[in-house]
């Protein structure tokens, strides 16, 4: 899917008509139709943006889901001039509408896997109105943490990273806040500025329907 920021409200219907025509021409075997069919089994949506993939430097959006083996399965790709919540709303709406049109399936989910970008979250909420779980991508979170740990000594850095990795890998959702607060108390009691700042940063994303 390609979106121009100047596109009118008919953009989604144009995409839908093109996909429907493709069904007739390929007897349901085209790759793009197969990707949309994955919405039928999806329990959550994963979305992200990447850059430097084209000469005009437009951001490229990806939308899909993951399986139990943590493999990513895309629904759609979007090229856009901007990264607003309206852009993500357009992408999510197109996927949802195509799932209904092509397979008569009302695709809905209450779980989003993404980074900290509010544009993704707000775009998701505009289409899937019952957001219960915002799962922050662990790879993004760890990279953010590393920025706070650079000034720490090697021994201290290894100790806190080991604690955080163990916490992330073993804590169930229902125990998350209790164990997180214990971890935070343990490390902020050392009065190291960067560690305190790191936990303050995490509080913005881990304590508001997120885990």
- pLDDT tens digits for range 44-78: 999 999 998 889 889 999 999 998 888 999 999 99
**pLDDT computed for residue 125 by the predictor:** 94
- Say yes or no: 157 and 202 in one domain: yes
- Say yes or no: 193 and 104 in one domain: no
**pLDDT computed for residue 114 by the predictor:** 87
Helix axes 85-103, 118-127, angle to 10 degrees: 40
Judge contact between 85 and 122, C-beta under 8 A. Answer: yes
**pLDDT computed for residue 119 by the predictor:** 92
DSSP code of residue 175? G
**pLDDT computed for residue 205 by the predictor:** 61
Residue entry with tokens 């990447």? 50
DSSP code of residue 62? E
List of residues 6+ apart from 192 with CB closer than 8 A: 152, 156
Burial of 94 by CB count in 10 Å (0-12 exposed, 13-18 middle, 19+ buried)? buried
Residue entry with tokens 């806190």? 160
- Say yes or no: 90 and 131 in one domain: yes
- Say yes or no: 43 and 61 in one domain: yes
Indicate whether 105 belongs to any domain. Answer: yes
What total of structural domains would you count in the chain?
2
- Say yes or no: 106 and 156 in one domain: no
Indicate whether 3 belongs to any domain. Answer: no
- Say yes or no: 146 and 107 in one domain: no
**pLDDT computed for residue 180 by the predictor:** 86
Of 103, 136, 169, the position where a domain reaches its end is 136
- Say yes or no: 42 and 128 in one domain: yes
Indicate whether 2 belongs to any domain. Answer: no
Indicate whether 201 belongs to any domain. Answer: yes
CA distance 65 to 56: 28
Judge contact between 66 and 93, C-beta under 8 A. Answer: no
Give the residue numbers spanning the domain of 163.
138-206
- Say yes or no: 130 and 180 in one domain: no
Of 109, 136, 163, the position where a domain reaches its end is 136
- Say yes or no: 76 and 123 in one domain: yes
Query: What does DSSP say about strands 111-114 and 133-136: parallel, antiparallel, or unpaired?
Result: parallel
**pLDDT computed for residue 178 by the predictor:** 86
> Which CATH number is 45's domain given?
3.30.420
Indicate whether 20 belongs to any domain. Answer: yes
Judge contact between 90 and 78, C-beta under 8 A. Answer: yes
- Say yes or no: 35 and 57 in one domain: yes
- Say yes or no: 113 and 18 in one domain: yes
The number of helices, as runs of H, and strands, as runs of E, in the chain is 8, 5
Count CB neighbours of 168 within 10 A. 13
Indicate whether 1 belongs to any domain. Answer: no
Spatial CA neighbour of 62 closest among 86, 87, 42: 87
**pLDDT computed for residue 99 by the predictor:** 95
Of 121, 136, 151, the position where a domain reaches its end is 136
The percent helix, strand, coil of the chain (3-state, each to 5) is 55, 15, 30
Judge contact between 113 and 47, C-beta under 8 A. Answer: yes
The residue ranges of the chain whose pLDDT is under 50 are 1-20, 22-29, 209-211
- Say yes or no: 168 and 87 in one domain: no
């Amino acid at each position: 899917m390609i979106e121009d920021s100047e596109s009118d409200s008919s953009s989604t219907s144009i995409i839908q008509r093109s996909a429907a025509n493709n069904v007739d021409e390929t007897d349901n075997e085209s790759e793009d139709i197969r990707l949309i069919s994955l919405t039928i089994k999806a329990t959550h949506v994963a979305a992200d943006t990447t850059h430097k993939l084209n000469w005009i430097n437009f951001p490229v959006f990806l939308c899909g889901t993951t399986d139990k083996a943590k493999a990513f399965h895309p629904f759609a790709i979007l090229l856009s001039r901007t990264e607003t919540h309206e852009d993500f709303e357009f992408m999510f709406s197109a996927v949802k509408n195509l799932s209904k049109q092509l397979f008569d399936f009302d695709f809905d989910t209450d779980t989003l896997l993404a980074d900290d970008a509010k544009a993704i979250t707000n775009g998701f909420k505009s289409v899937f109105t019952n957001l219960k779980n915002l799962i922050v991508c662990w790879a993004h979170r760890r990279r953010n943490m590393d920025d706070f740990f650079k000034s720490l000594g090697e021994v201290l850095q290894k100790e806190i990273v080991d604690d955080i990795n163990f916490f992330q890998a073993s804590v169930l959702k229902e125990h998350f806040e209790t164990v997180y607060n214990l971890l935070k108390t343990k490390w902020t009691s050392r009065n190291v500025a960067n560690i305190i700042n790191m936990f303050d940063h995490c509080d913005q994303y881990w304590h508001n329907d997120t885990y």
